[in-house]
C-alpha cells in the first residue's frame, strides 16, 4: 500500500450472509478472498449489492445528524458501563471527535430505549434507522466471522465461539478543524474481533501499511470497510494483523460514520486454537482474558500493549 492504498473489494450480499448464518458453507473463492485480504493488510471493502443498503445508510446518517446536533448537556445524559461507549465529545486530546456506543441495537427495543435517553417521548426515525442498519450489519459481520473460521478449517468452532461474543454499535462525528487538516481520531488498532464501518461521503480514513506508510482511503460508493481487531489477530496466531488506522479531517463538511464491533463477552478467554500452531507458526500469544487486557490497555495505551500483555 502506497500513497493511494490498494484495498481489495469483495462482493458479499445480505442474502449470502443470511444463508451462511442459516448453516450453509461459504464457497472456496470467498474464503480465499477474505483470508488473503485480512492476512495481507487486515482490511477490505465489502460491497453489498442490495438496493436497500444505501437507503439504510442514508437514513442512519440523517438520524446521526439529529442526534449530534442536540445540546451538549443532552448528549452527556448517555452513560454506559462498557468502555468507550458513554458519550465522548470534544475532549482536549481529540477536540474534533464525538462518539457513543449502543449494545444490541439489532434488537428494536434496545434501539428504542437508546432514543428515549435523548428524546423522552421517543424518536421513531432514529430508532428505526439504527435498528435497520444494525440488523443488516449484524448478519454481514457474523457471516464474515464464519467465513474466516472456515478458511482456517476451524469451522466446527465457529458456533461456540460466536456464542461468547456481543456487539457494540458506535456512532461517530468529526467536526471541522479551524483551518487546514487535523487529526480527527489518532492512530490505533481496534481491540475487538471484527469491525464493519460505513460513512457519509466525506473521506478521511487512513491506513498504515506494513512498511510504515500512511495511505488515505477512498471508500467506494456503496461499500463498507471491514477491519480485523487485535482479538482475531491473537486467535489466528498472528496470521491476520489488526489494521492500524486513523481519521484525518479537512474540507468544509463534517464527517459522520458508524460501525458495528464484535467483542468477546466479559472475561472470555482469547486463545490460539491448536490447529493454528505448527513448526512454521510457533505460538505467539498466551491465553488471556479480554476484560483483563482491555483494563490493562486503558491504563497503558501503548502501541505494543498487546505484545507486552499477551506475547509469548
Average of pLDDT values for 101-121? 95
CATH annotation of 9-269: 2.60.120.330
**pLDDT value, residue 61:** 96
**pLDDT value, residue 45:** 96
C-beta of residue 163 within 8 angstroms of C-beta of residue 229:
no
- What is d(CA 207, CA 188) in angstroms, rounded to the nearest whole number? 10
Average of pLDDT values for 19-33? 87
pLDDT of 93 above 70: yes
To the nearest 10 degrees (0 to 180), the angle between helices 14-21 and 124-151 is 60
Q: Report the residue count for the chain.
A: 312
**Model confidence pLDDT, tens digit, residues 189-219:** 999 999 999 999 999 999 998 888 999 999 9
C-beta of residue 177 within 8 angstroms of C-beta of residue 225:
no
Phi, psi for residue 43 in degrees, rounded to 5: -155, 145
Between 240 and 2, name the one with better pLDDT. 240
Question: Which grid coordinates belong to 28?
Answer: 472456496
- Residue 5: pLDDT band (50, 70, 90) is low
- What is d(CA 226, CA 144) in angstroms, rounded to the nearest whole number? 9
**Model confidence pLDDT, tens digit, residues 254-272:** 999 999 999 999 889 999 9
The angle at the Cα of 198, spanning 192 to 204, to the nearest 5 degrees, equals: 95
pLDDT of 3 above 50: no
Residue in the structure block whose three cell numbers are 477536540: 95
**pLDDT value, residue 41:** 93
- What is d(CA 242, CA 39) in angstroms, rounded to the nearest whole number? 9
- What is d(CA 1, CA 116) in angstroms, rounded to the nearest whole number? 44
Express as a percent the part of the chain with pLDDT over 90.
81
Which region among 8-17, 125-134, 147-156 has the lowest average model confidence (pLDDT)? 8-17
Express as a percent the part of the chain with pLDDT over 70.
98
Q: In the chain, count of helices (H) and strands (E)?
A: 10, 14
- Residue 2: pLDDT band (50, 70, 90) is very low
- Residue 7: pLDDT band (50, 70, 90) is very high
Question: Which grid coordinates belong to 220?
Answer: 467506494
- Residue 60: pLDDT band (50, 70, 90) is very high
Among the listed residues 21, 260, 227, 262, the one whose alpha carbon sits nearest the alpha carbon of residue 133: 260
**pLDDT value, residue 149:** 95
Amino acid at each position: 500500500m502506497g500513497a493511494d492504498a490498494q484495498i481489495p473489494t469483495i462482493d458479499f450480499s445480505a442474502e449470502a450472509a443470511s444463508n451462511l448464518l442459516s448453516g450453509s458453507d461459504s464457497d472456496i473463492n470467498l474464503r480465499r478472498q477474505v483470508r488473503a485480504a485480512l492476512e495481507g493488510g487486515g482490511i477490505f471493502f465489502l460491497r453489498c449489492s442490495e438496493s436497500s443498503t444505501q437507503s439504510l445508510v442514508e437514513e442512519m446518517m440523517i438520524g446521526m445528524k439529529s442526534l449530534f446536533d442536540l445540546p451538549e448537556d443532552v448528549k452527556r445524559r448517555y452513560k454506559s458501563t462498557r468502555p468507550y461507549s458513554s458519550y465522548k465529545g470534544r475532549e482536549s486530546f481529540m477536540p474534533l471527535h464525538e462518539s457513543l456506543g449502543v449494545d444490541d441495537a439489532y434488537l428494536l427495543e434496545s434501539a428504542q430505549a437508546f432514543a428515549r435517553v435523548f428524546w423522552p417521548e421517543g424518536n421513531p426515525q432514529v430508532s428505526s434507522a439504527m435498528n435497520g442498519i444494525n440488523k443488516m450489519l449484524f448478519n454481514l459481520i457474523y457471516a464474515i466471522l464464519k467465513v474466516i473460521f472456515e478458511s482456517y478449517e476451524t469451522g466446527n468452532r465457529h458456533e461456540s465461539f460466536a456464542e461468547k461474543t456481543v456487539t457494540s454499535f458506535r456512532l461517530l462525528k468529526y467536526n471541522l478543524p479551524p483551518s487546514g487538516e487535523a487529526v480527527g481520531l489518532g492512530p490505533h488498532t481496534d481491540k475487538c474481533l471484527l469491525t464493519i464501518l460505513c460513512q457519509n461521503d466525506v473521506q478521511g480514513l487512513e491506513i498504515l501499511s506494513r512498511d510504515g506508510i500512511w495511505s488515505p482511503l477512498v471508500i467506494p460508493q456503496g461499500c463498507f470497510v471491514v477491519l480485523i481487531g487485535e482479538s482475531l489477530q491473537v486467535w489466528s496466531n498472528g496470521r491476520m494483523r489488526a489494521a492500524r488506522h486513523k481519521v484525518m479531517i479537512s474540507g468544509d463538511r463534517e464527517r459522520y460514520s458508524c460501525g458495528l464491533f464484535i467483542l468477546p463477552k466479559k472475561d472470555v478467554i482469547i486463545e490460539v486454537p491448536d490447529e493454528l500452531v505448527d513448526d512454521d507458526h510457533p505460538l505467539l500469544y498466551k491465553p488471556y482474558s479480554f476484560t483483563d487486557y482491555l483494563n490493562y490497555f486503558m491504563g497503558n495505551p501503548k502501541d505494543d500493549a498487546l505484545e507486552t500483555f499477551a506475547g509469548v
